[in-house]
């Protein structure tokens, strides 16, 4: 039986396990990337591993999320990241140089290589044949130390593209269409592999728009094969020698196949406040628009901004609408400026932002309350824009520019008819991506050779080996669907302490109970009780690290979100599943004792644990963990385990 492209790349990198869906596999990582909000902890953990230098072929540190340096803590973080990159041998991309996914695609992404990144949109370079996966920061530190990355072998689903996009339909509409069909849960445990004659018609930047937003489908990754278009893109970036031909075998077997005829697509839009609330633009036409932003890691490239610029040429942004262009990279900005397009857009009434995530995570350009904002981004969750009562729509740059011109949502085909001389701009790549690399510092050009830590930068906490007995107060009883945002809020006033776990821990679960952190410190730890789906949301490892710091030894929940459960293992916290009856009976303040010898049971593969409450009644709790996860738990977390393994080598 032939292999899919995903299986081929995984096979080439396999160090443990079998390529059977659902089985845990270990793979070798060629490249890693990290950004500023997750990067400081990545490097602090790398420092704790006491390694001299990065072991992967390539590592890159970007500063893209909080680039504005409005607080010395951000600037200190950036300086620390530069010093860490220099000390350990990673590339460093200065704040303002662009969003990690865009800059990585331009400079380093390589077909056939594996990439692990501490950002959920890491799969972006799947559009040029790289198998790229997002992960928690500690996984990145371990991979940089040469360790394998462990993941459940995903199902590989074939998305077969037929036909060709009609005028005004774009790559963004391909992925919005899939979100409409499959929903934000449609890709969980899957890799989407794009094939077919329709795929051949798409340029690399169009492909990366699609693979970027595979994350919104919940997919582990998304990937295209390589061809003349890939070779051409790499050549324009001056990296043609990195081209490798990649395709699935003719007789590859997929878990599922979905066919999309590109010629059937039309301009689509995701309505507030979920990326899968997708409708044709014409269905919401007429809605007044206050703000339009073209940019982000999804549609912030030269090829995304140029269509908007062409549509705005010799025209003006509607007086009731503000339009901002936030390029994904300085390279895109620079080329657009050299070609005169920046001046053209400015003349039309556009404001330019530096190349940053910025507005995508509510840092700058926060919409007015209860106003409408059209963005070319990938996420529109309520409140993500920086204000709770937002109405954020997601669309292509063409739809965004049309709305900016009209002052209301409009199908660009209708606007074209109305104006008479508005032509579909199409997709155009520059002859050469010849932007300066002044903001990219290679390991050879490193300016620091030792870590520079400001007063807000602490150390990575290292857990203690698992003890035989766990006994403590049920410090908090929580409902279903507690998110990582509940556990550690991501607002900028709190996130600025991301490199200082001692300080950040003070905010643990503050959105549920403001007294929690203090009570946990006073009690010297304890246990947590929760309902279903505990820890859903982002891969934020601070949501496990801070409870660990406060001495939380176990979480008793009806069920756990997958990534958070992995993070609980990584930080040495015992995740025990309880049934509904036990959940109902448990009260906040109860004395909870795990009667089973915990360390022995974890080591011997035991899954049932007896829990005694208030020395009065008993219940059974379950530990679902692989052998590897049990080793991590026993050691007191992945950092301690990895450190011990390195010391033994």
Residues forming the site for ligand F3S (CB under 6 A): 65, 99, 101, 119, 121, 296-297, 357, 360-361, 378
Closest distance to ligand F3S from the beta carbon of 489 (Å): 16
Helix (H) and strand (E) counts for the chain? 25, 27
176: CB partners within 8 A, 6+ apart? 268, 269, 270, 275, 278, 394, 395
d(CA 291, CA 309): 16
Task: Considering the complex, state which of residue 34 and residue 642 has its C-beta at the smaller distance from ligand F3S.
Answer: 34
Closest to ligand F3S by CB, 102 vs 596, is 102
> Residue with the closest Cβ to ligand F3S?
357
**CB of residue 296 to ligand F3S, shortest distance in Å:** 4
- What is the layout of strands, in order, in the sheet containing 291-295? 278-280, 268-270, 391-394, 372-375, 291-295, 322-326, 350-352
**Which tokens go with 516?**
């929690």
Of 63 and 517, the one with the shorter C-beta distance to ligand F3S is 63
How far apart are alpha carbons 639 and 207 in whole angstroms? 36
Count of alpha carbons within 13 angstroms of residue 605, beta-carbon side: 3
Min separation Cβ 378 and ligand F3S, Å: 5
Nearer to ligand F3S, 359 or 440 (CB): 359
| Whole-number Å distance between alpha carbons of 613 and 328 | 54
- Mention every residue, 6+ apart, whose C-beta is less than 8 A from residue 178: 159, 186, 192, 217, 258, 260
Q: How far is CA 433 from the centre of its chain?
A: 26
Is the CA virtual torsion 368, 371, 373, 379 positive or negative? positive
Pick between residue 299 and residue 582 the one whose CB is nearest to ligand F3S. 299
Q: CB nearer to ligand F3S: give 170 or 538.
A: 538
Residue 385 Cβ vs ligand F3S, minimum distance, rounded to whole Å: 12
Q: Min. distance of Cβ 285 from ligand F3S in angstroms?
A: 27
Place of tokens 């331009």: 106
Nearest-approach distance from CB 168 to ligand F3S, in angstroms: 24
For ligand F3S, the closer CB: 111 or 301: 301
Helix crossing, 100-107 with 204-212: angle to 10°? 140
Between 83 and 208, name the residue whose CB sits nearer to ligand F3S. 208
For ligand F3S, the closer CB: 78 or 477: 78
Least distance to ligand F3S from the beta carbon of 208, Å? 12
How many angstroms separate the CA atoms of 415 and 183, rounded? 30
Which secondary-structure segment (H or E) carries 208? helix 204-212
Closer by beta carbon to ligand F3S, 159 or else 360: 360
Residues in the chain, overall count? 649
| Residue 300: CB minimum distance to ligand F3S, A | 7
CB 35 to ligand F3S: min, Å: 7
Nearest C-alpha neighbor of 398 from the set 558, 213, 265: 265
- The nearest distance, CB 121 to ligand F3S, in angstroms, is 5
Least distance between ligand F3S and beta carbon 103 (Å): 11
By beta-carbon proximity to ligand F3S, the closer residue of 128 and 361 is 361
Q: What is the spatial order of strands in the sheet that 58-62 belongs to?
A: 131-134, 114-117, 31-34, 58-62, 91-93, 440-441
State the residue for tokens 């069920």: 559
Query: Phi and psi for 150 in degrees, rounded to 5?
Result: -105, 135
How far from each other are the two terminal CA atoms of the chain, in whole angstroms?
Answer: 39
Taking Cα atoms as reference points, which of 79, 88, 213, 106 lies closest to residue 159? 213
């Amino acid at each position: 039986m032939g292999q899919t492209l995903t299986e081929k790349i995984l096979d080439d990198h396999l160090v443990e396990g079998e390529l059977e869906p659902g089985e845990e596999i270990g793979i070798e990582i060629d490249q890693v990337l990290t950004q500023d909000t997750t990067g400081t902890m990545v490097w602090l953990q790398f420092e704790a591993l006491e390694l001299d230098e990065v072991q992967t072929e390539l590592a890159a540190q970007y500063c893209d999320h909080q680039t504005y340096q409005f607080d010395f803590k951000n600037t200190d973080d950036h300086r620390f990241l530069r010093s860490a990159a220099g000390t350990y041998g990673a590339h460093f991309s200065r704040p303002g140089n662009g969003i990690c996914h865009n800059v990585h695609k331009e400079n380093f992404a390589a077909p056939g290589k594996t990439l692990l990144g501490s950002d959920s949109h890491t799969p972006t370079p799947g559009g040029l044949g790289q198998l790229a996966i997002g992960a928690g920061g500690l996984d990145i530190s371990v991979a940089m130390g040469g360790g394998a990355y462990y993941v459940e072998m995903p199902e590989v689903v074939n998305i077969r593209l037929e036909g060709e996009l009609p005028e005004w339909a774009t790559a963004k509409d391909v992925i919005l269409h899939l979100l409409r069909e499959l929903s934000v849960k449609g890709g969980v445990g899957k890799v989407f592999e794009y094939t077919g004659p329709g795929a051949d018609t798409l340029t690399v930047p169009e492909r990366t728009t699609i693979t970027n937003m595979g994350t919104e489908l919940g997919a582990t990754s998304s990937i295209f094969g390589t061809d003349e278009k890939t070779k051409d893109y790499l050549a324009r970036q001056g990296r043609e020698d990195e081209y490798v031909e990649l395709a699935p075998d003719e007789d590859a077997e997929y878990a599922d196949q979905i066919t999309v005829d590109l010629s059937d697509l039309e301009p689509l839009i995701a309505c507030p406040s979920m990326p899968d609330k997708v409708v044709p633009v014409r269905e919401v036409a007429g809605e007044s628009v206050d703000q339009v932003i073209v940019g982000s890691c999804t549609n912030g490239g030269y090829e995304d901004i140029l269509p908007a610029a062409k549509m705005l040429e010799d025209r003006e942004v509607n007086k009731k609408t503000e339009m901002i262009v936030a390029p994904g990279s300085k390279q895109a900005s620079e080329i657009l400026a050299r070609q005169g397009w920046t001046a053209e857009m400015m003349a039309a009434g556009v404001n330019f932002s530096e190349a940053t995530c910025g507005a995508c995570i509510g840092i700058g350009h926060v919409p007015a309350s209860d106003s409408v904002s059209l963005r070319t981004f990938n996420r529109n969750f309520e409140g993500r824009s920086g204000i709770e009562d937002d109405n954020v729509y997601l669309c292509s740059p063409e739809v965004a520019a049309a709305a900016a011109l009209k002052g209301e949502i409009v199908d660009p085909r209708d606007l074209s008819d109305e104006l008479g001389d508005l032509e579909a701009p199409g997709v155009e790549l520059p002859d050469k991506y010849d932007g300066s690399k002044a903001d990219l510092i290679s390991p050879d050009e490193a300016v620091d050779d030792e870590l520079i830590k400001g007063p807000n930068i602490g150390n990575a906490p290292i857990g203690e080996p698992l003890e035989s007995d766990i006994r403590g107060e049920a410090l908090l009883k929580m409902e279903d669907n507690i998110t990582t945002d509940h556990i550690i809020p991501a607002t900028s006033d709190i996130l600025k302490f991301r490199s200082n776990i001692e300080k950040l821990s003070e905010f643990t679960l503050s959105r549920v109970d403001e007294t929690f952190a203090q009570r946990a410190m006073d009690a010297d730890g304890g246990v947590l009780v929760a309902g279903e789906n505990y820890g859903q949301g982002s891969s934020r490892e601070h949501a496990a690290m801070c409870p660990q710091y406060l001495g939380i030894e176990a979480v008793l929940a009806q069920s756990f979100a997958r990534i958070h459960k992995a993070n609980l293992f990584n930080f040495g916290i015992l995740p025990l599943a309880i049934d509904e009856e036990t959940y109902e009976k448990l009260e906040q303040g109860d004395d909870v004792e795990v009667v089973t010898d915990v360390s022995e049971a974890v080591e011997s593969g035991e899954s049932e644990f007896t829990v005694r409450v208030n020395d009065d009644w008993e219940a059974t709790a379950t530990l679902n963990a692989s052998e590897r996860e049990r080793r991590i738990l026993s050691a007191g977390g992945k950092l301690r385990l990895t450190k011990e393994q390195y010391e033994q080598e």
